[in-house]
Amino acid sequence: MTARILDGNSISAQIKAELKTETAELCRQGLRPGLAAVLVGENPASQVYVRSKVRTCEQLGFFSEMLTPPASTSTEELLAIVAELNRRDDIDGILVQLPLPRQIDSKRILMAVDPAKDVDGFHPVNIGLLSSMRPGLVPCTPAGCMEILSRSGIEVAGKDAVVVGRSDIVGKPVAMLLTNANATVTICHSKTRDLVGVCRRADILIAAIGRPAMITPEMVNPDCTVIDVGINRIDSRELFQSLFAGDARREKEFSEKGTTLVGDVHPKVAEVCRAITPVPGGVGPMTIAMLMANTLKAAKMRRALTDHQLVG
């Protein structure tokens, strides 16, 4: 048995095409969604992520602005930047790229972002709206997981869903989204007894624990759909061999780069489950797509526009 591959690249491309069409209609009505990305310092990985987000904005027709305060920026200085972005009417979404330098109080910064512009969906106000099933901005990666399930025709209502990981960014909000979609949800973590047994009962398994290949084939039943949120870079030849022995494409990549990516799910799980997201090319591309969807949603919500008004 080989699992059906749930292609995040193609689903994210579909979402972006829809967003581009809707953005063009908004622009004709004189409203151009705007996203401000704040990147403090010169973290190379963060620079790549932020540039990718800004580039996607341009492709969709959004206004985008990248602010790059120095690594020496203080909490108070960054709070002032956020306050100014909160005031600006041309900015619908504010993205503060994490991690921030050590001297900055990250929680104070994230709390300072106007919830109406919190396109990451991290603000407690937005988490509260999600919990109470009211309109708000939903964390991007969990929203992407749900879009993959929905657009792949995978039923959620009435299913047993297991979330491995309880982070504020993925585990908890995706559990709320699954609950809101009428799944019966179990959240697993380091204190869970009989993790294997709990996972084996899942119709839908979300792996978001941050440990390479932690979910192994014996933890998954043949009817399970597996959403692998993990993105772990490995550089150990021994670990690589244990995961990808016989995979010529991966072997070539590892030999050339000395590293490769693996999710929180062991590659051999794809041989025993019904459907699975790949790493890379699964949940990852969905996160940026949902960030763009949140920016458009924020632009509409801030101006109290409804879909009926947009097409009318």
Catalytically active residues, by annotation: 53, 97, 120
The Cα 181–Cα 130 span in angstroms is 12
End-to-end CA distance of the chain: 49
Return the closest-CA partner of residue 270 out of 208, 215, 203, 231. Answer: 215
Look at the chain and count its residues: 312
State how far the Cα of 146 lies from the Cα of 41, in Å rounded to an integer.
33
Short-list 168, 250, 266, CA closest to 211: 266
Q: Answer for the pair 48, 97: CB distance below 8 angstroms, yes or no.
A: no
Residues with Cβ within 8 Å of residue 282, at least 6 apart in sequence: 6, 7, 8, 148, 227, 228, 263, 276
- Provide the token pair at 253: 């990549």
Question: How far apart (Å, rounded) are the C-alpha atoms in residues 196 and 120?
Answer: 32
Q: How far apart are CA 6 and CA 226, in angstroms?
A: 9
